[in-house]
Structure 1
Amino acid sequence: MTLSAWLALVAVCVLGAMSPGPSLALVVRSTINRGRGAGLITALSHGLGVGVYALATALGLAAVIATQQPLFTAITLAGAAYLLWLGASAMQATHSGAAGASEAPAGPAGAAHGGTPGGLAAARDGLAMALLNPKIAVFFVALFSQFVSTDANGWTVAVLAGTATTVDAGWYALVAMGLSASGGAAWLRRHRVWIERLTGAVLVFLALSTAATVIR
Structure 2
Amino acid sequence: MLTIEEWLLLAGVCALGAMTPGASLAMVLHHTLHGSARAGVRTALAHALGIGVYAAATVAGLAVVLHRFPSLETGIRLAGSLFLLWLAWKTWRQAGAAADHGPARKGARPARDGFLIAFLNPKVALFFLALFSQFIDAGMGTVARVQVAATAVVIDGGWYSLVALTLARGPVLAALRRHQGRVERATAIVLAVIAVIVWV
| Fold similarity call, TM over 0.5 | yes
Do structure 1's residue 129 and structure 2's residue 130 form an aligned pair?
A: no
Structure 1 segment 1-216 matched on structure 2, within 5 A: 1-60=2-61, 107=85, 109-110=87-88, 112=90, 117-118=103-104, 119-181=107-169, 182-183=171-172
- Checking the alignment, whether the CA contact within 8 Å between 1:59 and 1:157 is kept in structure 2 is no
Kindly indicate whether the alpha-carbon contact (under 8 Å) linking 1:25 and 1:106 is maintained by their aligned counterparts in 2. Answer: no
CA positional deviation for 1:147: 0.5
Judged with a 3 Å threshold, the aligned counterparts in structure 2 of structure 1 residues 115 and 17 are, in CA distance, closer, same or farther, namely closer
Q: If the length of structure 2 is used for normalisation, what is the TM-score? A: 0.65
CA contact 2:35–2:101 (8 Å) conserved in 1: no
Q: CA deviation at 1:150?
A: 3.1
CA distance in 2, matches of 1:128, 1:111: 16
Task: Kindly indicate whether the alpha-carbon contact (under 8 Å) linking 1:108 and 1:125 is maintained by their aligned counterparts in 2.
Answer: no
Unaligned runs of 5+ in 2: 69-82, 92-99, 177-200
* 1:183 Cα offset (Å): 4.3
Q: In the comparison of the two structures, how many residue pairs are matched? A: 147
Separation (CA, whole Å) in 2 of partners of 1:108 and 1:161: 30
The alignment's C-alpha RMSD in Å is 3.1
Mapped partners of 1:14, 1:126: distance in 2:
18
Gaps of 5+ in 1: 65-73, 76-104, 187-216
State the 4+ residue runs in structure 1 displaced beyond 3 angstroms: 105-116, 182-186
Maintained 8 Å contact 1:24/1:172:
yes
TM value normalised by structure 1: 0.60
